[in-house]
Structure formats: structure tokens, C-alpha cells
């Protein structure tokens, strides 16, 4: 899902300016790279269902499942293998707690503290005037009111725009895997656990300098026209269980506009921090179901590979 957040930083109504001679516009570079990545993604296949892994010891079983946080309401992604693994589990673990009022209020407090510019400041005034003009034109082109982002930090502006555009494309947070599994877990009488806190996620999302965030926001405006295609491609790869394809699209550094710093913060550091928590789960008897964003279980720095590097046997069962 990292690629989607990058693309959803803006609208591609703003096209990179044409260059002469051997120079190539940033948009053309991106399109060329995307074409190559897409071809490689389409050359790989999964098993026809979202990927599921299993690891265990003498008295503990852990299922690892990659999720998509927003999904179309009509997408049927569950099958017998997933359902049986989930129903056999006594506890489900998500990235963070999005259910309790205490956790929700904590996240809202962090957004209030970190997500807004100082009083009197304006996001567009922080940009080059030509960039600000183009950004506003781009936002208006997708039906988004530019003034809604006036006082937001760039990362918060990107998040708001990402959610807006994904919902415009028919994605629904209530249909996301976590929300569906949460309701099923309640029906099953399961308990809940979490691999990180709201503060951990906020540090990852809002990390980097203001200049880095602003550059990413402005640069991303060139690619929003590609979002529907990329969303469809990523959903197809996830639903097919094509972990290699997911890795190429969403969990590989220095590709498709993903900066190394963002990749480290959003995936590598968090994955590394989750490993001791997963080991602690393995120390307790019982059967557990861990559901985290699919990008965390794909690519060269995945949770699966990190666990295997520590000597654990992680078996792909779907």
C-alpha cells in the first residue's frame, strides 16, 4: 500500500513539463519505471487467494495474514482456508488498536498536535507559487476543495487526499480486512492484541523533514491519474496471493517514487520492531491470527523473511 500513498499525494492533471534534448521529465521517468514494474508484476502469479502463512512450536500456532485496509464492499476475499485458520484462533492481533475509545482519542490527539501548521501559516504559501497554482488546479480537477488542506502539514494533507480518492474509487474502510475480522472476532469471543501503538504509527507516517514531505506531496500531484489503474492492479495481486507482485509494487525501496527514508520508516523499522512481539506471542500457548498490511509480508524486508532469518520455519499455506 506504500505506492498508493505516494500516488495519492496529488493529481496528475499537473503533467511534468516537456524537456528538450536528452533530458526526460520526472513524469516520463516514473511512467517508464512503472511500465517495467507492471510487466514484471504481471509475469508472476499467486495461488488465487490472499496469502496466508503459519508458524508454530510445541504448544503455539501463529497464522500470518496480509490485509488491505480499505476494500470494495463487493469483494469476496475469504475462503475456507482463511476462515478455518481464523476460527481456530483464540486471539487476533492487528497493527494497532482502532477499537477502544482510549486509543482513538490518543490518535486524534497526536493528529491535532502534529498534523497542522502553526496558526496563520498556509500550506500553499510554503510552495513555489507555480507549484501551488498547479496543485490547486489538480485538486479541483478531482472534485477536492483545495482550501480543505490550507492548514495541514504535508503528510496530513496526503493522508486526507489519499482517503478521499480511495473512497471516490469505491474503497470502503468498513469493508477493509481489519474491520471485517474485528466483527468476526467479536462474534467468536476472541481476544485482541496489537503489535504497535498509535504513537508508533504516527512517528512512521509523519517522519522526515517538512521539506521532504512537501516535495513528496507536490511531486505526487503528477501521478494521480494512474491511481485507479494501480489500485486495481494491487487489489488483483493481493486477491491472487501474488506476494512477489505485492512486493514489487508496494514493498521495494527506491522504486516508483518511494524514497529510502519513507520506506525505512513505514516498513523496515516497523517490521523489525514487530519481531520481538511476535516471538513473545510464540512463547504463550494457544492459536493466534496476526493480520497486518500486506506490504509488511512482502518484499526484501518482510516480516516473513525477518522471522526466517532468525531461524523460524514460516510455512506458506495459501
Please check whether residue 44 is in contact with residue 56, taking contact to mean a CB–CB distance below 8 angstroms.
Answer: no
Of all residues in the chain, the percent with pLDDT exceeding 70 is: 90
What are the b/e assignments for 141-176, b being 16+ CB within 10 Å?
ebebeeeebebbbbbbbbbbbbebbbeeeebeeebb
Residues 38, 40, 46, 51, CA torsion sign? negative
Percent of the chain beyond pLDDT 90? 59
CA 17 to CA 71: how far, in whole Å?
Answer: 34
- Which residue in this structure is represented by grid cell 482463511? 82
Q: What mean pLDDT is reported for the chain? A: 87
Other beta carbons within 10 angstroms of residue 40's beta carbon come to: 13
Statement: residue 16 has pLDDT above 60: no
Looking at per-residue confidence, does 83 or 163 come out higher?
A: 83
- Name the band, by pLDDT with cuts 50, 70 and 90, for residue 161: confident
Q: Are 91 and 192 in contact (CB under 8 A)?
A: yes
Mean pLDDT of 298-314: 96
pLDDT at 169: 82
For 57, left (φ over 0), alpha (ψ -120 to 50), or beta? Answer: beta
Q: What is the pLDDT of residues 178-226, one digit of tens each?
A: 999 999 999 999 999 999 998 899 888 888 899 999 988 888 887 777 7
Backbone φ/ψ region at 25: left (φ over 0), alpha (ψ -120 to 50), beta: beta
- On the question of pLDDT at 283 being above 90, the answer is yes
* Mean pLDDT in residue range 288-306: 96
Q: Which residue has the higher pLDDT, 64 or 203?
A: 64
Nearest to 7 by CA among 265, 228, 294: 228
pLDDT of residue 27: 74
Q: Evaluate whether 220 touches 158 at the Cβ level (below 8 Å).
A: yes
Residue 26 has pLDDT above 90, yes or no: no
Helices (H) and strands (E) in the chain, counts: 14, 8
pLDDT for position 256: 63
pTM for the predicted model, two decimal places: 0.88
Lowest mean pLDDT among 2-6, 47-51, 121-125: 2-6
DSSP collapsed to 3 states, 92-113: EEECCCCCCHHHHHHHHHHHHH
pLDDT digits (tens, 9 = 90+) for 217-265: 888 887 777 778 888 899 999 999 999 999 998 877 666 666 788 889 9
Q: Determine the Cα–Cα distance for residues 283 and 267; give it in Å rounded to an integer.
A: 25
Amino acid at each position: 500500500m506504500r505506492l498508493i500513498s505516494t500516488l495519492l499525494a496529488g493529481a496528475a492533471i499537473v503533467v511534468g513539463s516537456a524537456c528538450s534534448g536528452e533530458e526526460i521529465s520526472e513524469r516520463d521517468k516514473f511512467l517508464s519505471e512503472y511500465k517495467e514494474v507492471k510487466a514484471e508484476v504481471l509475469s508472476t502469479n499467486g495461488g488465487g487467494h490472499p496469502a496466508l502463512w503459519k508458524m508454530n512450536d510445541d504448544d503455539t500456532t501463529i497464522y500470518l495474514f496480509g490485509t488491505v485496509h480499505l476494500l470494495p464492499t463487493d469483494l469476496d476475499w475469504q475462503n475456507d482456508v482463511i476462515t478455518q485458520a481464523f476460527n481456530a484462533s483464540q486471539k487476533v492481533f492487528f497493527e494497532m488498536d482502532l477499537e477502544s475509545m482510549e486509543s482513538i482519542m490518543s490518535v486524534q490527539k497526536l493528529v491535532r498536535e502534529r498534523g497542522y501548521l502553526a496558526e496563520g501559516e498556509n500550506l500553499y504559501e510554503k510552495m513555489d507559487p507555480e507549484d501551488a497554482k498547479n496543485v490547486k488546479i489538480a485538486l479541483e480537477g478531482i472534485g477536492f476543495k483545495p482550501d480543505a488542506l490550507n492548514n495541514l502539514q504535508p503528510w496530513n494533507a496526503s493522508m486526507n487526499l489519499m482517503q478521499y480518492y480511495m473512497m471516490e474509487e469505491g474503497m470502503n474502510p468498513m469493508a477493509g480486512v481489519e474491520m471485517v475480522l474485528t466483527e468476526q472476532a467479536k462474534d467468536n469471543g476472541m481476544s485482541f492484541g496489537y503489535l504497535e501503538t498509535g504513537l508508533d504509527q504516527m512517528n512512521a507516517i509523519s517522519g522526515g523533514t517538512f521539506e521532504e514531505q512537501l516535495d513528496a506531496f507536490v511531486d505526487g500531484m503528477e501521478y494521480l491519474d494512474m491511481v485507479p489503474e494501480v489500485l486495481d492492479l494491487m487489489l488483483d495481486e493481493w486477491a491472487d496471493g501474488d506476494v512477489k507482485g505485492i512486493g514489487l509494487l508496494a514493498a521495494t525501496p527506491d522504486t516508483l517514487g518511494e524514497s529510502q527514508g519513507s520506506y525505512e520508516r513505514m516498513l523496515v523499522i516497523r517490521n523489525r520492531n514487530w519481531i520481538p512481539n511476535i516471538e513473545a506471542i510464540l512463547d504463550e500457548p494457544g492459536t493466534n491470527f496476526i493480520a497486518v498490511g500486506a506490504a509488511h509480508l512482502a518484499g526484501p524486508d518482510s516480516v516473513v523473511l525477518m522471522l526466517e532469518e532468525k531461524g523460524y520455519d514460516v510455512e506458506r499455506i495459501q
